[in-house]
Amino acid sequence: MVSKQVLFAIIVGVFVGWWQGEASTQSLNLGTAEWRPWQVLEDGHLTGITPGILQELSKRTGCAMNVRPFPHKRMMAAFEKGGIDMEPTVNPSWRDCQSHISVYTIPFYTTGDIVLVRKKNAIHATSVRDFYGMNLGCGLGYFYPEGFQEAFNRGDIHREDNPVSEKNLQKLALERLDGIIVDKVQARYLLKKANLDPADFVTAYRFKPSKLSLRLHRSRQAFLPALNKAIEEMIADGTIDRIVAKYVE
């Protein structure tokens, strides 16, 4: 078994000719951090929604995609230096610090964070003030907009960070948290994986939606037309929705 300390590559797709008919095979080196169910790293294998989408993109464009899992900070540093050509499943607002070297495909999916609570403690919040005095489970080191970050910093809302989203859900189910902030697709995935009844939980608040794209290093922007064309086809024929459904339904 390959050590988890060693970076490994998972070759997604097949090596075939370039979409414009060039004889040489083209490829992209991708880096991504784990984000379940988009990118799931278990026992040295990368699975999830994103690898499924990349595999289909590879088939449709003829571009080989070599994917490496990275810790977030190392991935950002590698992209800055040009060691990574593309990062999948990202919103441009999340990468403002590297806007000068980034170009993006058209969005392929729209998601967004929610505040998930137990049904018996349901509230219908309209602003961050509705959560004052509560204890919310959050992703370790995540920044939350719409006034939540400021509320955490002031102590108006107690923030309990956890690097593993499953543990936040477990604490919520055991009533050790008042709510958790979680991506809405991830919430459906975690409830399914934990064999919890979704009917026992409700969404108390929805953050503004985030459109997900592929982020390319500016030096690789020539790939954009073919990738955009393939994404448009996959949206139109329902391929992306079917890939997502495998992990949440």
Each as own residue / partner, the long-range contacts of residues 72-75 (CB below 8 Å, 24 or more positions apart, any chain) are: 72/33, 75/31, 75/32, 75/33
52-61 burial, b if ≥16 CB within 10 A, otherwise e? bbbbbbbebb
Q: Which of 111, 121, 106 is nearest to 226 (CA)?
A: 106
pLDDT at position 135 is: 98
What are the structural domain ranges in the chain? 10-110+210-248, 113-206
Strands (E), the chain: 10-12, 27-32, 40-42, 45-47, 64-69, 86-90, 102-104, 109-111, 113-118, 135-139, 158-162, 179-183, 201-206, 210-217
d(CA 213, CA 30): 13
pLDDT at position 140 is: 85
Q: CB within 8 A of 248, min separation 6: which ones?
A: 37, 185, 188, 189, 192
pLDDT at position 71 is: 86
Q: Is 113-206 the same fold as 10-110+210-248? A: yes
Q: Which class is domain 10-110+210-248? A: alpha beta
pLDDT at position 1 is: 41
pLDDT at position 222 is: 96
φ and ψ of 66, to 5 deg: -100, 110
- pLDDT tens-digit series, residues 181-225: 999 999 999 999 999 999 999 999 999 999 999 999 999 999 999
- pLDDT tens-digit series, residues 13-65: 333 333 333 323 589 999 998 899 999 988 878 899 999 999 999 999 999 99
d(CA 80, CA 100): 10
- pLDDT tens-digit series, residues 238-249: 999 999 999 998
For the chain, the residue count is: 249
Q: Is domain 113-206 in CATH 3.30.70.2170, yes or no?
A: no
DSSP3 helix / strand / coil % (the chain, rounded to 5)? 40, 30, 35
The alpha-helical segments, DSSP class H, found in 102-238 are 148-154, 165-173, 184-193, 224-236
Q: What percent of the chain has pLDDT over 90?
A: 80
Average pLDDT, the chain: 89
